[in-house]
Amino acid sequence: MRVLGIDPGIAIMGFGFIDKSGHKLTPVQYGCIETAAGTPQEMRLKQIYEAVCDLLDQYKPDTVAVEKLFFNKNVTNAFSVGQARGVFMLAAAQRGLPISEYTPMQVKQAVVGYGGAEKRQVQEMVKMLLKLSAIPKPDDVADALAVAICHAHSIVLNERMNGAMRR
């Protein structure tokens, strides 16, 4: 099963494709989509949409996962991130892909085992779980891979729970 994890953003949108086979997780491709500050918002969203469509068509994930928005003090930034997130979700929905959403705490819990984990702990676990030589940069890329790992672990749990409920 191929999973795509997304860390949404308007300036930088991190992405990470991983393959899950049994308990083994293998990185396929990861990186980020960047848009330039000063570019009109609609053009940035168009750039993100086109890049996401290209990635989805090239790597053909079976399922996608995106981090839920966390509203802090910068509401303007949260709206921009929400728009970029919506563009991603539209591209995935157009391809009939199932979309799952996770809070930052759920991602930390799944990857590190502790919902209050520090960013550096999550990054180190991403590196270790995917057997990478270095922590992916920028941080948005490691975050996207963490979302993909979270979803890969959640799929197993959901399958087990659904199987138990059928018995």
Read off the pLDDT of residues 125-153 as tens digits, 9 standing for 90 and up: 999 999 999 999 999 999 999 999 999 99
- Residues paired with 67 in a beta bridge: 102
> In whole angstroms, what is the distance from residue 73 CA to residue 153 CA?
31
Average pLDDT, the chain: 91
The binding site for Mg(2+) comprises 7, 67, 140
- The 10s digit of each residue's pLDDT in 53-87 is 999 999 999 999 999 876 666 666 778 888 999 99
Q: How far apart are CA 89 and CA 69, in angstroms?
A: 13
Q: Which residues are catalytic?
A: 7, 67, 140
pTM of the model: 0.91
How far apart (Å, rounded) are the C-alpha atoms in residues 24 and 33?
27
Q: What CATH number was assigned to the domain covering residues 1-164?
A: 3.30.420.10
Whether the per-residue pLDDT at 103 is higher than 90: the answer is: yes
Report the binding-site residues: 7, 67, 140
Query: Could you tell me which residue, 70 or 7, shows the higher pLDDT?
Result: 7
Sign, CA dihedral 144-150-155-156, equals: positive
